[in-house]
Structure 1
């Protein structure tokens, strides 16, 4: 009996501090929404962002199609994406104003407002959607975020955050899992699941680069189909700057002449 009592006391001595440490650790964590906001602000900055993206689409591991896109974003409401290559698509532009997305096709001088199903479609046969290329969703406002775990991704310590779309949001994915670097808030990996909870797409940050303010942001991101790993798209951030942008850069008239 004395031996059992001693063992029980020893267990309590060891277990209680561990339990207190675990609870205090979770209490000191930022909230899931705050972590997502930090990741978004880390990439997009406080207000404006301009990029040139070199996008390569791989089909069956052999055919490679290269697309060059310039983007201008004034967060969170305005986004302009302009295709500059290949030649046949040069000048095609997408303008997002809030939750409205417009497409300009210079070849036939056609301006069209896209429907929600069109926004959810694959963009130029890549693994990206039009919602992706126009930064359609607000990760903090269109989703409910919940903290799932501490884990590793790309060899980095990460917060695992689950995003579930709000009822009023355009639903492309049933849920998304973000692996946010616990030190620099880079999204190391994102996994996209369908309504049957099957993994459909995985986006992984392969390379990073320094940015203004001592931040670290992605340089090369790879999007891979879970059904066929030979179907993939890479997005390389050739140039990134955070200079202020005027509201006049986000109009239907300007998207026709953007360069």
Structure 2
């Protein structure tokens, strides 16, 4: 969920050759991922974003608010359009709920739904709620360096650990070497086929941090489709009580 807040990235250049491990003096792959994750998240975060779903011949927009506390608590509220307004998603630990006000119903999402489309977009439920942990559920390997959109990046491969609750067979992430921003991420299925690419764009200062203001997901099998999330504003580290992230509050938060 948090990666879409900041948050959950077409290559313009490739400069350096791949290597089998980190160059002397470089941080380890896990240290790089940890720094990138910490930069995205903060102790707490809250913000507002716009999501644009693009299809051949049409597009639609949604607006959302979001809140997070550490790695275990997050909430997304849909604020527009009118037909979707009030729909909410809540994460507490490994449990995830969806509030649908039009039918007055709370649904607990099973793990089998994590790979499904979120609100008709090219993002999956797992992209938004991040049931899996990029730090604890994957083994990390630094496989090289590339330049993405003019920024030198570490290229890191993430392979899920046995029995980890993940939906991907492999993830490759490009992390900016200076600012530890996630500039590009590729998601592969268990058979090794590319499913989605997420691009970080429009780097600017948000909440006192230099971050991509936009994230674009492009499905590999339908490259004419795409979903763009633009962060309108973000604030980090303002106090948010754990009790805010409750099923009851999910129904009434505005």
Q: TM-score, normalised by structure 2?
A: 0.88
Could you tell me whether the CA contact under 8 Å between 1:101 and 1:119 is conserved in 2? Answer: no
Alpha-carbon distance in structure 1 between the residues aligned to 2:115 and 2:165: 8
Whether the 8 Å contact between 2:214 and 2:228 is mirrored in structure 1 is yes
Match of residue 10 from structure 2: none
2:120 match: 125
Alignment of 1:195-214 (within 5 A): 195-213=190-208
CA contact (8 A) 2:206 2:233 kept: no
Q: 2:34 aligns with which of 33, 37, 43?
A: 37
The secondary structure found in structure 2 opposite 1:238 is: strand
Which residue of structure 1 aligns with residue 189 of structure 2? 194
List runs of 5+ in structure 2 lacking aligned partners: 1-18
Q: 3-state SS of the aligned residue for 1:169?
A: coil
1:172-187 to structure 2, matched below 5 A, reads 172-187=167-182
Equivalent-residue separation in structure 1 for 2:47 and 2:102 (angstroms) = 24
* More RCO (CA 8 Å, sep 6+): 2
* Partner deviation per Cα, 1:159-180 (whole Å, 9 max, x = no partner): 0011112223222211010000
For 1:57 and 1:29, locate their aligned partners in 2 and report how far apart those are by CA, in whole Å: 38
Q: 2-side partners of 1:202 and 1:210: how far apart? A: 24
Among 121, 127, 130, the alignment partner of 1:135 is 130
The answer to which structure has the higher helix fraction is 1
User: Using the alignment, how far apart are the partners of 1:224 and 1:112 within structure 2?
Assistant: 28
1:57 to 53, 58, 80: 53
Structure 1 runs of 4+ off > 6 angstroms? none
Partner Cα separation in structure 1 for residue 164 and residue 85 of structure 2 = 31
**Alignment length, in residue pairs?**
234
Superposed CA offset, 1:103-149 (max 9, x none): 11111110121111112211011110111122333211121111100
The answer to whether residue 77 in structure 2 is matched with residue 82 in structure 1 is yes
